[in-house]
Structures are given as structure tokens and as C-alpha cells.
Amino acid sequence: MALLPSSYSSCHHRASPFAPATPCSAQSRPRKGTLRLAAAGARSGPTAAPRRARPAAVERRRCECFDLHQQLVPYAEAYAWQKAIIKRRIGLLDRGEDHSDTLIALQHPPVYTLGSVSKEEYLHFKKEDAPFEVHKINRGGEVTYHGPGQLVMYPIINLKYHKEDVHWYFRSLEELIIRALKSAFSIKASRVEGLTGVWVGDQKVAALGIHGSRMIVYHGLALNVTTDLTPFQMIDPCGIKDRGVGSIKQILQEASHGTEIDDTLLMDMAYNSMIKEFAELFQLDLDTSLDCSFQEISKLHR
């Protein structure tokens, strides 16, 4: 039988289930008070590990969220609203004051928008004969279409409080869309190298366009949820001629062999998933209590 080292006390043995446990000798028992101190978390000697300080909770930056995702807001009014917010934000910066970020979610009546350097060759009509309103604005990118059934999100964010990198911001917007589509609809979306936006196969389901002033970015993204895709045939969306445009509803119907899907429910699902991923990705505390009509909100920002 192997001998135990002299320093190994018999009280370290596991007791046999068939025999009574052998008590430790008096010499091997801890001194009086030791167990009480250990239970209280006190150090019992020089080898005791120091207690770690509990990490402080990270406070998320506030973001006011204007939820109009089931409302049609005229493009010109939404654009003026964004610019009014930007003007006020810059005024606060000039005074050295902080401010919250903002997220506006809405839909637009049918409209075409062109970026500041867009080429009219991507329009398949003359501007004077346009089937819908046409607005040339200060965002980047080429022509795109907005209309009912498309979830448009305008984050107005100061990148100084996140990461001062516009390319990072673009990739982050794409990432939140990719995550939201997977989470809500089990749709596998991706990026295409050299192009902006989010794609499912060769179909573009979301377009991006931004503008910035003193690292405060605005405009944002447009996700085709239940959008009628016909108006896209009148343009080369984002200047791309060899790829198509898709929507969440179209993709789901093709996968389910034409099963009818409720448009309102689909838009709600898309919105809820998008704002959840938006808050997580940018580590924001969304204030969604700002529940009022566009007419009431727009008065506050003019």
C-alpha cells in the first residue's frame, strides 16, 4: 500500500460511504474564529487573494426615438426636420453643451431623391415629366426611391461619442440591418464588396446615404419591407445597372410559395427588430416615450 506524504492529513480523505467518517485531530482543526473570518470575506493570511472591485455599470448615451414607422411623412418636411435638429445640435456644440442622439423612423409617400453629385443619366425619365416628386439633397450616393412599405430610419448621431470614422458608421448601419433581418425573419443578408447597402443574393433590400457636419451625421437608411418595387424600374437604383431590388415581403413569399403576409405586421416586426439592433450596436438608451403625430413633433423642431 502506498504511503501518504507526512504533510497529508487524514482529514483530506473522502469518507467511505460504508464507514463512519474519521474526525480530524485537534491539531489539524482550524483555530477558533478562522471560519467566521473566512465567511465574512476577511483575509486569513498573506496568501489571501485581494478582492476585486465590482466594475462600474456603463451608462448608455440617450437617444430620443420618434416612432412614425406606420405614418407617411412628406419627404420635404422630413428633410427640413432633420436640418432643424442639426442646426440646434451645432448651436449646442458652439456653446460647449452636450446633447442626445436622435432616431426618426417613418415612411414616405412616393418620391425620388438624388444625392448632391447624382447623375441624371440614371433617371429613365425627364425630370419635368417625373411620375413622382424629385428632390436633390445633400447626402452622398445616386438616385433612389422612397415609398409606402419602406422603413426609413434617420439616425442623427454625433460620432464623437461613438467612433469618428464615417466608414465605420456605414458598416455599422449595414450590420444592424443584417442582424435585424436574421433575427426577425431568418433572412440571410450580406454586403457586396465595393458597394454600399445590404443584399439578399443579387437583390438590394436596403440603401444607405448620409451627410455630416462637424461629425454629426444624418440621413440614414431605407429598408424595403412591403414596398411596391415597380417605381425602381424607372431608375438605376444607386447607379447600379446589373443588379435588382428586393423586399422582405417578396423574399418571404417566394420562400413560402406565395403565402399571404399581413403588411402592417411585417412592418411592425421590421421596425421592432431594427431599433433593437440599433440600440445594441451603438450602445444607446432609446427614449421611445415620444409618441405623438408628425404635425406635433415638427412644430417642436422649427
Q: What DSSP string describes 211-275?
A: EEETTEEEEEEEEESS---GGGGGB-GGG-SSSEE--HHHHHHHHTTS----HHHHHHHHHHHHH
Q: How confident is the model at residue 73 (pLDDT cuts 50, 70, 90)?
A: very high
Instruction: Supply the pLDDT for residue 295.
Output: 62
**pLDDT at 269 exceeding the cut of 60:** yes
> What are the tens digits of pLDDT across the range 40-50?
333 334 444 44
**pLDDT at 94 exceeding the cut of 60:** yes
Q: Taking the CB of residue 204, how many other CB atoms lie within 10 A of it?
A: 24
Give 187 or 117, the one with higher predicted confidence: 187
> What are the tens digits of pLDDT across the range 181-232?
999 999 999 999 999 999 999 999 999 999 999 999 999 999 999 999 999 9
Q: Give the whole-angstrom CA distance, residue 231 versus residue 193.
A: 26
The DSSP secondary-structure symbol of 123 reads B
Q: Give the whole-angstrom CA distance, residue 101 versus residue 159.
A: 10
Let me know if 167 is exposed, middle or buried by CB neighbors in 10 A (0-12, 13-18, 19+). Answer: exposed
Instruction: Supply the pLDDT for residue 15.
Output: 37
Give 300 or 102, the one with higher predicted confidence: 102
Q: Which residues contact 11 (CB under 8 A, 6 or more apart)?
A: 22, 23, 24, 25, 28
pTM score of the predicted model: 0.79
What percentage of the chain carries pLDDT values higher than 90?
70
Most confident range, picked from 17-31, 44-58, 127-141: 127-141
Quick one: angle between helices 263-282 and 166-185, nearest 10?
Answer: 140
Marked catalytic residue, from 11, 65, 238, 292: 238
Give 242 or 26, the one with higher predicted confidence: 242
**pLDDT at 236 exceeding the cut of 90:** yes
Reference 199, options 242, 167, 234; nearest CA is: 242
Give 218 or 29, the one with higher predicted confidence: 218
CB 112 within 8 A of CB 132: yes
Domains of the chain: 59-296 (3.30.930.10)
Instruction: Supply the pLDDT for residue 48.
Output: 47
Q: How confident is the model at residue 14 (pLDDT cuts 50, 70, 90)?
A: very low
Output the nine-digit C-alpha cell for 226: 412591403
- What backbone torsions phi and psi does residue 101 show, to the nearest 5 degrees? -85, 170
Q: Give the whole-angstrom CA distance, residue 300 versus residue 302.
A: 6
**pLDDT at 247 exceeding the cut of 90:** yes
24 counts as catalytic: no
Instruction: Supply the pLDDT for residue 22.
Output: 36
**pLDDT at 110 exceeding the cut of 60:** yes
